[in-house]
Structures are given as C-alpha cells and as structure tokens.
A and B are shown apart, each in its own frame.
Chain A
Amino acid sequence: MKYYLDITLLPSDDIGIHFLWSKVIMQVHLALVEIQDADKKVPVGAGFPQYREKKADKAGFVGNKLRLFSIHKEDLERLDIHKWLNRLEDYVHIKAINEVPKDLKGYENFNRRSKSGNAEKHIRRRISRAEKHNNETPEQAAEFFKDYTMSEEDKALPFINMRSLEGKKDFRMSITRKVVEPSNAPVKFNTYGLSKEGVLPKF
C-alpha cells in the first residue's frame, strides 16, 4: 500500500460519532461498489488508525478516523470519495491523497467478523432449514442449542451500526484488528474495504 487518504469524523452536539459512522461507512461502501471488479472486489482497503480494543474499563471503539489505502494513486482518485461524501462535508474532514510515510509502526489487518450471534438466531436459522435437520420441531431446535452462548470476544469487538438500505433490519458490523507481517502480495478487498488477507501499514 503506497497511497492513503484520511477521513476524520467530526461529531458535535446531537450528531454523535456512531450516528456519523453509519452514514459515512454507507457512503464509502457505495463508492467502493462503483469501482468493484467482476468478482465484487476493489483495490482499496480501509483502516481504522484509532481502533481501540476492549480494555478492562473501556469498551472497544473504532475511533473517529477512517483511512483508505491503495497501491496505485489512480485507484483512490477514481474512487472520488469527495463526491460520495459531499452531503456529509460539514461533518467530516477529508485530507488529500498522500504517500504512505517511510517510518512505520508495523502492519495490521482489518476484517469484518460475522458474530457468532445469540442462540435465538441459530435456533431460527435451524428451523428455517428444517428439511436439512429431518424436520425438527422448534422445541428440538431449542434443545440443540441449550448450552450455546455467544463468545465473549465477539461481544467485545468494536462495531459500526449499519443501516440497511433495503429496509431490512439494521445490523452491526464488527471489526477485528490483527497485527500482521509485511507482505507485497496483491490483495483485493470487499466493498467495505475489508479483507482477510489485507496488509495495511500502521503509522
């Protein structure tokens, strides 16, 4: 990753940071969809420079900065993020495209974590696929998951509230961060700028 641009969210009275995140990520997602290739992948990755994992007394938090990376400057130019955020201009600060500095603190990867979910979700899913499970009754399905609990680390992950455009249910997009080894393998990202293999410079 050679080029990047920073988007800083500016929360104010009544316009909270989480509210802004859901608006901003939605627009970034739409922008990335515009430049996706045939496999629905994009050459632009998203990082959260102020990502904070859950500590004993502090909840996990994605911070208030979003950093978009690309190998080729043209890709960030083609994305034209200004156009997609122009209705949010009063609430974000977008810096110009810059070269990634030489002096790095390491490399990291951001990915989406589909939460393991609560027991009821699994029960519902199992019932909806009843023919796979020899037509269990709801009671049997509930029995199957009786000892299930959602994993603690999943509960602690920083997340962004996503508003569904299709009027389906809103959902939470949990973000994981891993420290990774540098690599120059070309990686494509999904239309949220996340990927399992992504390697983003940290500075």
Chain B
Amino acid sequence: MARKDNVASVLAFEKKLVTSDGYMFGTQWDNRTQIVPLALQEKSVRGTISNRFKKSDVQSFEKDPTKLNAKVESANLQRVDSCALGLEQDTLNLQFSVKVIGGITQPSACNNALFKQGYSAAANTYIAEQGFTELARRYAGNIANARFLWRNRVGAEQIEVQVKAKNNSIEQAWTFDAYQFSTKDFDSNNEQTDQLAAQIAKVLASEDDFLLLEVSCFVLVGKAQEVYPSEELVLDKGKGGKSKILYDVKGIAAMHSQKLGNALRTIDTWYPEFSDPETNAGPIAIEPYGAVTNLGKAYRTPKDKQDFYTFFDNWARGEKLSRVEDEHYVMATLVRGGVFGESDK
C-alpha cells in the first residue's frame, strides 16, 4: 500500500518528441529538382476466398456441401488503395518534422503537491547524472538509420536522410547514409549522430527550450516501385466497401505521425528477453508494458515487475532503481507522454 498522502490520481505528461505526419513525394535519385507529391491509386482486384469460415458457416456447410463449393469458388472482389512511384521516378522522398520540447521535470497535470515534489527531485537527479545523453543518442540513431520508413526501408538500394535542426540559437544540418546505422542495435553512432544527439539531449534536459528537426529522407527503391503509406484502420468495412484504405492528406500519400513517433522511440533494448537470442525481438518501442502489437506480446509485464508503473512508483518517491537502464526506460516513457495517474481510493 502506497501512503495515501503522496498519491497523484491525476497525473499526465505531454509528449516531448512531437512528430508531424510524413508526406510522400516521388523524384529521381540523380536529379532532385522535381519533387512531385504522390497520390493514392485505387485498384479493384479479383482475389480468391482465403479466410477461415465462421463456426456457424462450417455447420451449414456440413449439412449442404454444395454451399461450401459455391462459396469457395466465387471470386472475392476487393477494392484496395495502393501507392507507387511514377514511371520516371526511382526515389521516394519522405518529409516530416519533429519538435523536441524541454520541461520534463514538470508533469503537465498533477493533483498532489507531495508527489510532484518527489517526482521533480528524481527527474532532476536523473538529468544531473545522465543528462539525457543515452536516450538522445538512441533517438538520433533512429533518425539516422531511417527506421521511420518502416516497410519502405526493406531492401532499398540507397537511403539518404537529411536533417535540419532549428531553434533560436542554432541552425545546423546533417546528412546520413542510413545503411551505416543498423536498426538492430545502437552501437553504430558516429560524430554526425553525436552532434545531433547533443542538440536533442540539451533540449530534453532543459526547462523550456525547444528544437525543430526537419527531416527529408530520400529512398532509392527503383522505377515505378510500390511504396507504403500508412494504412487506415477501417472499423466498419461494410459491403462492397474498400478493404484497404491508405492514409493521405489533401491528396498526398502520407504516414501517420504516430507511426513515425513509434519508430523514433523504438529504443528499448533493456527489456529482460533482449539478452536471449531466441526470444529477442530487437529494439522495441517504449511502452508502459512493452507491448508489441503485431507479435501480440507484452515484453514488460507487471508479473515480472519490469513494467513502467512498478519502476515509476518507487522511483518517483525517491527510491533508487537497481539498474541505470531501468531509469533510462522510465524517462523514455515520460518523454513518450501519457496519463499515469493511480487510484487514490
């Protein structure tokens, strides 16, 4: 039982890495004067039935086998969105911006002064000892390795990431060859990423500074090749509706800001199973329970006492965590932001 007098039932942190949507353009690797927005195309295809049948269907098929044949042999008409480069384009250009904000020592909402004091002290200690260098190094790594391209990154011929950093005091630009940086680890940083990381760390550790990063990424994928914008989640497909809807903004194919943000915070190599080569899922996104939705698995369960809340409740009340990696994880979750209040009943 936590002591009643330092429980914050209202506790929220705003995110400190704010990504915009990513817009997709097509151009040529050797001639980037013409950069044209990519539009979605709609395809109507005739597929085959391949899904499993519902239990109720199976029972009716047993009564009348001809029904099953009729169902299996009828075509499965689908309307889907797709997106591809133009015939003369061989390069995808993805553009987005990331805003880095300081002020992590103050929750954006907190209804308990005692808790807030304890938390601020703990956060200030972390900043004094660690200065966000490790987290910033990893965020910079994820910008340099172009993890944010997701499927568009797989097998691409060449990838060039251009980053411009702007705020009141600096204006700097870097160019990265994404293939110099692995997405499996964060060991391949160099002088360029160190500079970028230093800027990010400085802002994250600050009281109220900010930094705007403009990212423009060129990916040589090949002439007229397919590219992959975000897919919209369609809750109610309806009859004859489109079964795959891709995301676009004002006619430009785009990637969700959440998806870019998720890639930038894919820095968690501190979960227990990371050290086991059989179950290692590579770096995972920073999440309170280490959830990786596509694997249907949470890598940080409260049962194992490796989840965010277990660490945070102790750490924010002045206890030291046993490993510095756990502190990194807690701070990275706060950078991600969220509503973390606990019941005071």
**Interface residues, chain A, with chain B CB atoms under 8 Å away:** 10-16, 19-20, 23, 27, 87-91, 118, 149, 167
Contact = CB atoms under 8 A, between A and B. Distances in A.
- Counting chain B CB atoms within 10 Å of each CB, which of A10, A12, A14, A89 scores highest? A14
Interface of B: 48, 69, 73, 145, 150-151, 153-157, 179, 182-184, 224, 259, 262, 281-282, 285, 292-295
B294 A13 contact: yes
Given A12-B282, A20-B154, 15 more contacts: A12-B281, A13-B262, A13-B292, A13-B294, A13-B295, A14-B150, A14-B151, A16-B294, A19-B151, A19-B154, A23-B155, A87-B156, A88-B155, A90-B182, A118-B48
B293 A91 contact: no
B15 to A, nearest CB: 19
B294 A149 contact: no
Contacts, number: 42
Nearest to B48: A118
6 contacts: A13-B262, A13-B292, A15-B151, A19-B154, A20-B154, A23-B154
A12 B154 contact: no
A87 B157 contact: yes
Nearest to B182: A90
Contacts of A12: 281-282, 294
Contacts of A88: 154-155
B157 A14 contact: no
Contacts of A15: 150-151, 154
Nearest to B226: A163
A87 B149 CA distance: 14
B154 A91 contact: yes
A149 B293 contact: no
A61 to B, nearest CB: 13
